């Protein structure tokens, strides 16, 4: 198991967490109920696998998830886990903005100082603990000043009731505003293979503030776990029946995605879920540079400069900086020369993670797998590609949804 610091804190969390949504029961949170004995076995297995991070919320089963965790954790397990829950959504009917009705409860969203303090007090009681490691504002709300919300959160930190703060269901500008009044350790946002756009938009701001980007919904409530799941029918009232993935032409596109993933699951002897989660973890694991260029030689000239500047700003050695710049330049020039009429843009990502640099290049040009060509191939300029293969640690390629995706590590 890999671990990471949450933002600027000293909290070391496993990159995969135990999600408390499914143990909440009710009409939305799970297909079946979970008892304390079941949960104890699940938590012990999680700890055995290296997972030390639990995420839940008061509204998961309107208190049921937190109560079950409280019963299971009190038996010598609390010290083994970082415990994360949320605030703002409550069913007390004592103020706030209407959010939804479910299972006979009216849930409101309230980010006032009074409501946040009450949320924390209630969660501490339900989970039978003296402190919460991370408290996340469940839904960022404009009805109360951010200064008031963060003021309450900072006071709870000083009192020792919480250790760190996060926000969720937010936008990059919300993080910027919250950071004016304190430190935000993480943002928790929906992000998946089917809906990556919010994350891609958020990554630069999260990286700028050294804030961890935490994903929910990576498996899209089961739709990315198996092709058979896509064709399921759901009972009336089931939230999965309201998702766009059950309708054509999106359903057909998801089946095509599974067709792309199938040979990879066979190659790596893993499930579709494993593959999707691995993809998710690779998207923003470290310090990232993301930019796009048009497929023109004029714009290609800026690739080398941007990468060298980024590496210098982040303390990357001169040798590794030059390797990254050369690899990116050689690959983009090759795409521009031979990508064909369909190639009109190139996405470039450079990720600095521990002692590894990963360069990801994506384009919508003609199908071209650089691993399958050698010096004697006349259609493409292979010399630059062979240079990249020689100076890099590894090169991987996949053609997915009519796009070339090349990943180079060094």
Dump pLDDT digits (tens) for 184-229.
999 999 999 998 877 778 888 898 898 999 999 999 989 999 999 9
* Set 60, 139, 202, 229: catalytic member: 60
Cβ distance 34 to 25 under 8 Å? yes
Please report, rounded to a whole number, the percentage of residues in the chain having pLDDT higher than 90. 51
- pLDDT number for residue 410: 82
Residue closest to 189 by CA, chosen among 206, 165, 214:
214
CATH class entry, domain 3-217: alpha beta
Residue closest to 129 by CA, chosen among 72, 176, 170, 86:
72
pLDDT confidence bin for 393, thresholds 50/70/90: confident
Residue closest to 58 by CA, chosen among 36, 30, 29:
29
Alpha helices in 140-270 (DSSP H): 146-158, 172-178, 197-208, 227-230, 250-268
The domain segmentation of the chain, as residue ranges, is 3-217, 230-277, 287-409
Q: How far is Cα 329 from Cα 14, in angstroms, rounded to an integer?
A: 35
Whether 53 is a known active-site residue: answer no
- pLDDT number for residue 319: 84
Residue 326 has pLDDT above 60, yes or no: yes
pLDDT confidence bin for 382, thresholds 50/70/90: low
Query: At 57, which helix (H) or strand (E)?
Result: none
Residue closest to 133 by CA, chosen among 289, 14, 263:
14
Cβ distance 206 to 174 under 8 Å? no
Cβ distance 345 to 365 under 8 Å? no
Q: Spell 111-126 as b/e; 16+ CB within 10 A means b.
A: bbbebbbbbbebbbeb
Reported as a single tens digit per residue, the pLDDT across 172-189 is: 999 999 999 999 999 999
Domain 287-409 has CATH 3.30.565.10: yes
- The first and second tokens of residue 198, run together, are 């919010």
| C-alpha pair distances (Å), 207 with each of 8, 290, 297, 335 | 11, 11, 29, 29
- pLDDT number for residue 166: 98
Q: How far is Cα 359 from Cα 331, in angstroms, rounded to an integer?
A: 10
Supply φ then ψ for residue 259, to 5 degrees.
-60, -35
Instruction: Find residue 164's DSSP bridge partners.
Output: 134
Cβ distance 272 to 258 under 8 Å? yes
Supply φ then ψ for residue 109, to 5 degrees.
-110, 120
Reduced to 3 states (helix: H, G, I; strand: E, B; else coil), residue 399 is strand
Query: At 272, which helix (H) or strand (E)?
Result: helix 272-282
pTM, whole model, 2 decimals?
0.76
Residue closest to 349 by CA, chosen among 273, 275, 407:
407
**Residues 332-340, mean pLDDT to the nearest whole number:** 81
Reduced to 3 states (helix: H, G, I; strand: E, B; else coil), residue 184 is coil
- pLDDT number for residue 217: 93
- pLDDT number for residue 397: 87
Q: How far is Cα 96 from Cα 88, in angstroms, rounded to an integer?
A: 9
Return the higher-pLDDT residue of 306 and 375: 306
């Amino acid at each position: 198991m890999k671990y990471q610091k949450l933002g600027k804190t000293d909290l070391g969390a496993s990159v995969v967490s135990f999600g408390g949504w499914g143990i909440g029961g009710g009409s939305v949170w799970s297909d079946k109920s979970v008892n304390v004995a079941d949960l104890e076995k699940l938590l012990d297995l999680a700890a055995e696998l290296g997972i030390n991070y639990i995420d839940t919320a008061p509204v998961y089963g309107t208190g049921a998830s937190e109560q079950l965790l409280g019963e299971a954790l009190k038996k010598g397990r609390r010290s083994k886990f970082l415990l994360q829950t949320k605030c703002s959504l409550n069913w007390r009917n004592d103020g706030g903005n209407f959010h939804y009705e479910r299972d006979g409860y009216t849930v409101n969203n309230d980010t006032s100082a009074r409501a946040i303090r009450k949320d924390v007090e209630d969660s501490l009681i339900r989970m039978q603990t003296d402190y919460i490691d991370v408290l996340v504002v469940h839904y960022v709300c404009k009805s109360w000043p951010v200064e008031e919300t963060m003021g309450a959160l900072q006071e709870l930190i000083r009192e020792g009731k919480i250790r760190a703060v996060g926000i969720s269901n937010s936008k990059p500008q919300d993080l910027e505003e919250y950071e004016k009044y304190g430190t935000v350790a993480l943002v928790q946002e929906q992000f998946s293979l089917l809906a990556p756009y919010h994350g891609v938009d958020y990554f630069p701001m999260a990286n700028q503030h050294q804030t961890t980007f935490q994903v929910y919904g990576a498996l899209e409530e089961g739709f990315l776990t198996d092709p058979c799941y896509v064709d399921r029918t759901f009972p009336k009232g089931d939230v999965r029946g309201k998702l766009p993935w059950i309708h054509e032409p999106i359903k057909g596109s998801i089946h095509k995605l599974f067709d792309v993933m199938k040979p990879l699951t066979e190659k790596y002897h893993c499930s579709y879920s494993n593959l999707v989660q691995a993809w998710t973890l690779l998207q923003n694991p470290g310090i990232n540079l993301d930019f796009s260029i048009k497929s023109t030689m004029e714009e290609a000239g800026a690739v080398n400069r941007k990468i060298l500047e980024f590496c210098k700003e982040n303390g990357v050695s001169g040798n590794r900086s030059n390797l990254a710049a050369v690899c990116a330049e050689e690959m983009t020039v090759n795409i521009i020369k031979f990508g064909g009429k369909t190639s009109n843009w190139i996405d470039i990502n450079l990720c600095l993670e521990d002692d590894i640099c990963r360069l990801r290049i994506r384009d919508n040009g003609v199908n071209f797998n650089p691993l399958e060509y050698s010096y004697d191939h006349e259609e493409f300029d292979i010399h630059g590609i062979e240079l990249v293969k020689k100076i890099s640690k590894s090169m991987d390629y996949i053609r997915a949804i009519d796009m070339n995706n090349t990943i180079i590590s060094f």
